[in-house]
């Protein structure tokens, strides 16, 4: 029997099974606390540059030496007594940097390291998701072009409808993800830094440090912001950055979950019809009981994780709504869970989407067979137009077609027979005048409208420019091997 402690406590499936190492690292303790130290260094540097005599270059150099070498156990011991994570890490950092200890966190409040780090994590995590979305649209656009002329049944209400092309269907999935890319780009562009705002956002502590020199305090905000890779900071805040930002970003993630849910559901339905099939490994088992089964488990997992994200997006919304004045701490425990896990879940979703989109098996013969089985019903309007052009009475021929269609459908349902509607029409003497055209009229490619052109125009005019603009993000490494 194992004594490994890892098997005796809860492990999050998001970090253990679904999310990538890159996303897990962004929300790891090392990333978090090393960023705290970078923020303390940036603050000390800015204060030194603005003439604060109590801070020296030697102290800053000492802080930099231990920026990434974090004494986690020491911090953990301090927290047992202090019951405050920021103060615990200040003391732990101070043990490593005795000369700098007196000036670490000078003038700042806990939100300076906590909130600014949250913003950095969300920015980096959004950029990671953006890279994966770019690779998804690259895969889907290549397939849209490859399948642009494959005529297929379309569905409204999951009932057979006017034919489309398989490539056009890929474009519908593509377009949803383009909306998500636009939303991420907007969120990243508009994301700002908290900066150095002090206890209630008034910067009063920094005003004391700089003898009420308001220009230096304003410059401090700007310097820290630039040093940490942001162009702008929020001009007015309480102690924290506005919690509405979390809610906006979460709904951005929910949009990705929606697109992926839709994609996965469509693939599951196509797999039921045997027109398409998600990747299935050589030794993969579909069912513990039914050995023949090839269940769409990857797409089902996309749907499952997407539901989690859609429900979770309400957490930051309630948190934003319930903050009191300059801040309350009822956001902290919720944020520690809801924000990282939403990013990990969406990252896991996109890992699977990449895998499914890249490895999707398409069966053109089945697609053609399913279309042919329903096609006679689809072409009846075209037949009616042809007969009217030849001088026939629309109402009379509409009734004739209706009766033939009902008879054919009734035979299909009761006898399991094939669709013989076109044969019935061809054998009806009333349709003799267009009999020679029935085969031409029933060519499925005559029924797909501008689907082929729509695919070409959409890819050329909309998708390709985005891929060109983001060419540095296209990388085969984003097509992962998944846990089954």
State how far the Cα of 45 lies from the Cα of 59, in Å rounded to an integer: 10
pLDDT of residue 484: 45
**Residue pair 42/71 in contact by the 8 Å Cβ criterion:** no
Choose, from 30, 232, 287, 464, the residue flagged as catalytic: 287
Alpha helices in 360-478 (DSSP H): 364-378, 380-389, 394-415, 421-427, 438-441, 451-458, 464-469
State both tokens at 340. Answer: 């990282």
Catalytic residue check, 483: no
Range in 2-11, 77-86, 87-96, 343-352 the model is least confident about: 2-11
Which single residue is written with the structure tokens 């600014």? 116
Give Cβ neighbours of residue 406 (< 8 Å, ≥ 6 apart).
Answer: none
**Residue pair 234/192 in contact by the 8 Å Cβ criterion:** yes
DSSP class of 68: S
Q: What letters, b where the CB count within 10 A reaches 16 and e where it falls short, cover 134-158?
A: bbbbbbbbebbbebbebbbbbeeee
Enumerate helices (H) and strands (E) in the chain, giving the number of each.
Answer: 21, 4
Rounded to whole angstroms, what are the CA distances from 463 to 127, 177, 361, 413, 469?
19, 11, 23, 43, 10
| Residue 294: pLDDT over 90 | no
Rounded to whole angstroms, what are the CA distances from 286 to 277, 280, 348, 360?
13, 9, 21, 16
Range in 104-118, 195-209, 399-413 the model is least confident about: 399-413
Residue 313, classed as helix, strand or coil, is: coil
pLDDT per residue over 222-266, tens digit each?
Answer: 999 999 999 999 999 999 999 999 999 999 999 999 999 999 999
Catalytic residue check, 445: no
| Residue 287: pLDDT over 80 | no
DSSP class of 479: S
**Residue pair 15/337 in contact by the 8 Å Cβ criterion:** no
State both tokens at 145. Answer: 């072009």
Query: Taking Cα atoms as reference points, which of 322, 122, 350, 93 lies closest to residue 230?
Result: 122
| Residue 34: pLDDT over 70 | yes
pLDDT per residue over 116-160, tens digit each?
Answer: 999 999 999 999 999 999 999 999 999 999 999 999 999 999 988
């Amino acid at each position: 029997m194992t004594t490994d402690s890892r098997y005796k406590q809860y492990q999050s499936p998001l970090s253990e099974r679904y999310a990538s190492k890159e996303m897990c690292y962004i929300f790891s303790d090392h990333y978090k606390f090393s960023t705290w130290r970078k923020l303390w260094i940036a603050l000390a540097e800015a204060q030194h540059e603005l003439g604060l005599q109590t801070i020296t270059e030697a102290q800053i150099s000492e802080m930099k030496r231990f920026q990434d070498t974090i004494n986690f156990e020491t911090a953990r011991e301090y927290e047992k007594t202090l019951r405050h994570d920021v103060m615990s890490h200040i003391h732990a950092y101070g043990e490593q940097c005795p000369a700098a200890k007196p000036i670490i966190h000078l003038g700042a409040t806990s939100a300076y390291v906590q909130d600014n780090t949250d913003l950095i994590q969300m920015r980096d995590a959004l950029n990671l998701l953006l890279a994966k979305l770019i690779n998804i649209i690259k895969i889907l656009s290549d397939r849209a072009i490859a399948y642009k002329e494959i005529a297929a049944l379309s569905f409204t209400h999951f009932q057979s409808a006017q034919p489309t092309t398989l490539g056009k269907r890929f474009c519908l999935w593509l377009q949803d993800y383009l909306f998500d890319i636009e939303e991420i780009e907007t969120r990243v562009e508009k994301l700002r830094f908290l900066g150095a705002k002090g206890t209630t956002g008034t910067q009063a502590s920094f005003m004391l440090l700089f003898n009420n020199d308001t220009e230096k305090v304003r410059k401090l905000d700007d310097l820290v912001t630039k040093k940490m890779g942001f162009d702008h900071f929020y001009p007015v805040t309480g102690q924290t950055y506005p919690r509405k930002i979390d809610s906006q970003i979460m709904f951005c993630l929910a949009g990705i979950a929606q697109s992926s849910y839709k994609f996965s559901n469509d693939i599951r339905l196509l797999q039921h019809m045997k027109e398409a099939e998600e990747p299935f490994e050589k030794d993969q088992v579909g069912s513990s009981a039914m050995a023949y089964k090839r269940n769409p488990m990857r797409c089902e997992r996309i749907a499952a994780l997407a539901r989690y994200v859609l429900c979770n997006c309400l957490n930051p919304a309630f948190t934003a709504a319930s903050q009191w004045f300059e801040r309350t701490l009822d956001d902290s425990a919720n944020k520690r869970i809801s924000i990282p896990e939403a990013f990990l879940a969406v990252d896991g979703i996109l890992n699977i989407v990449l895998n499914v989109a890249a490895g999707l098996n398409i069966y053109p013969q089945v697609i053609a067979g399913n279309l042919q089985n329903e096609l006679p019903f689809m072409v009846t309007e075209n037949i009616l137009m042809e007969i009217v052009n030849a001088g026939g009475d629309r109402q009379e021929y509409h009734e004739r077609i209706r009766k033939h269609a009902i008879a054919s459908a009734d035979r299909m349902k009761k006898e399991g027979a094939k669709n013989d509607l076109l044969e019935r029409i061809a054998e009806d003497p009333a349709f003799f005048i267009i009999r020679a055209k029935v085969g031409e009229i029933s060519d499925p490619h005559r029924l797909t409208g501008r689907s082929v052109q729509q695919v070409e125009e959409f890819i050329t005019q909309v998708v390709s420019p985005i891929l060109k603009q983001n060419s540095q993000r296209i990388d085969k490494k984003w097509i992962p091997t998944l846990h089954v």
